[in-house]
Amino acid sequence: MRSTLRDRVAVVGAGCTPFREHWNKSGDDLLVEACWEAFEDAGLGPRDMQAGWLGGGITGQTLAHALQLDFIPVSRVENWCATGGDVIRNAAMAVAGGFYDIVLVAGFSKTKDTPALRGNIFNGGPSGTWLHGQDVTFAGPASGSFGTFAPRYVHHYGLKFEDVKRGLGAIAVKNYANGALNPKAFLRKTVTMEEYLSAPMLSWPLGLHDCCSMPDGAAALILTTPEIAPKIRPDYVVLKGLGMSVGTKQGQLDSSYDWVHFPEAVIAGRQAYEMAGVSNPLKELDVACVHDAFTVVELVVSEDLGWAPRGQAYKYVQDGVFDRVEGELAVNPNGGLKAFGHGGGSSGIHKSYEVYKQLQGKAGERQVKNVSLGLTHDQGGYPGTYTVVIGIWGTRD
């Protein structure tokens, strides 16, 4: 019989650096900054941590050295852009399994001053030959990557391209507006629909405002059990559901692959909803931070996770269903990867940071009203095969 993580793991501290071009800071500096914010948030210190998990870098020693973690076990997790979610998953299972009482999870990205490791393939930059033997970018439709989803979506559902393009634009406009209210976001500006539509094309049909930003930054969480959490703080946040699915190259091997949904997101979402007891996600969830590396990913995931009928998400976003203030479900109130920034190993953790703050009512100008249940979605991979981690977080009962 499969066990459950529901109500067995709590977050009692969180930290996140501003996401910037941190030319004057190392990855260690960013980890220290994020982790110390988490320590101060929880009223704890490095000596209270019994184990650690890290996303980013090449070894768990990076976190141990930066924080002087006193010989505790530290593991480095790697799962492409889903790394942050998988870091949390591994740590949560260790806490729920009774192996540790209080643990640290952290992730960081420091790519701006290391050209050999730069992630510009997301924005149509250096060749991604190292991926799977082809000259590809993650955006370019010719390679069967994310750019494929938008025209395929239009064709599959018999829609007008101009209507779907405006749906993608509504996602970008929404996320920019949310990021403008977030002091830790990288791109703090607003963009109109007209500016979106007239922006330079990077890899048709994805333009400048369809693609995420990739600055430097770090984020951290402190996990413990719900039994210990009240001794640390009254407004702790509890893990309610968790799901994970990893593809097996269906998009490259199966001719019936439709390029209008991510099966891994559907499966991971189903697992998380079942664990959390969520039957009507659009009505029950209050806030969600999803992997909008490209606007079309947010569009498709909105359908994969049951927030909109198939072929209708482009209408839902234009109708304001996912707006922060008046919408039914506030999606990416932190600005998303578009405006806040995609941090590779830290993204799933900074999404959880946002949901944690929203559930506590401490998100400042971008606070969503009456938040009691939030979702994080982390996704990584390359064309036609992905890793997806879904977390559902709630206030204490």
24: amino acid identity, one letter: N
Q: Which residues are catalytic?
A: 81, 342
DSSP bridge partners of 242: 391
Q: Are residues 139 and 19 in the same domain?
A: no
User: Within a domain: residue 121?
Assistant: no
Could you tell me the two tokens for 253? 């091997």
Per-residue pLDDT of the chain (397 residues; tens, 9 = 90+): 467 999 999 999 999 999 999 999 999 999 999 999 999 999 999 999 999 999 999 999 999 999 999 999 999 999 999 999 999 999 999 999 999 999 999 999 998 776 544 443 333 333 333 344 444 455 554 344 788 899 999 999 999 999 999 999 999 999 999 999 999 999 999 999 999 999 999 888 999 999 999 999 999 999 999 999 999 999 999 999 999 999 999 988 999 999 999 999 999 999 999 999 999 999 999 999 999 999 999 999 999 999 999 999 999 999 999 999 999 999 999 999 999 999 989 999 999 999 999 999 999 999 999 999 999 999 999 888 999 999 999 998 7
Q: Are residues 139 and 249 in the same domain?
A: yes
Q: Are residues 76 and 97 in the same domain?
A: yes
Q: Are residues 250 and 225 in the same domain?
A: no
Q: Are residues 351 and 318 in the same domain?
A: yes
Please choose, from the candidates 40, 69, 393, the residue with its C-alpha nearest in 3D space to the C-alpha of residue 236.
393
Cα atoms found within 13 Å of the Cα of residue 314, Cβ hemisphere only: 20
Q: Are residues 268 and 223 in the same domain?
A: no
Pinpoint the alpha helices (H) of 198-255.
229-232, 250-253
Q: Are residues 272 and 368 in the same domain?
A: yes
Q: Are residues 255 and 287 in the same domain?
A: yes
Is the Cβ–Cβ distance between 186 and 177 less than 8 Å? no
User: Within a domain: residue 127?
Assistant: no
**How far is the CA of 171 from the CAs of 91, 95, 330, in angstroms?**
32, 36, 12
CATH of the domain at 19: 3.40.47.10
Q: Are residues 75 and 203 in the same domain?
A: no
Q: Is 156 exposed, middle or buried (0-12, 13-18, 19+ CB in 10 A)?
A: middle
Q: Are residues 84 and 174 in the same domain?
A: no
> How many Å apart are CA 350 and CA 19, to the nearest integer?
10
User: Within a domain: residue 2?
Assistant: no
Count of domains in the chain? 2
User: Within a domain: residue 169?
Assistant: yes
User: Within a domain: residue 178?
Assistant: yes
Q: Which domain holds residue 82?
A: 10-115+216-236
Q: Are residues 155 and 295 in the same domain?
A: yes
User: Within a domain: residue 305?
Assistant: yes
Q: Are residues 276 and 154 in the same domain?
A: yes
pLDDT of residue 344: 86
User: Within a domain: residue 283?
Assistant: yes
Segment 143-171, tens digit of pLDDT: 447 888 999 999 999 999 999 999 999 99
User: Within a domain: residue 332?
Assistant: yes
pLDDT of residue 2: 62
pLDDT of residue 112: 74
Backbone φ and ψ of 152, nearest 5°: -65, -40
Is the Cβ–Cβ distance between 373 and 240 less than 8 Å? yes
Give the relative orientation of helices 295-304 and 263-276 as an angle to the nearest 10 degrees: 50
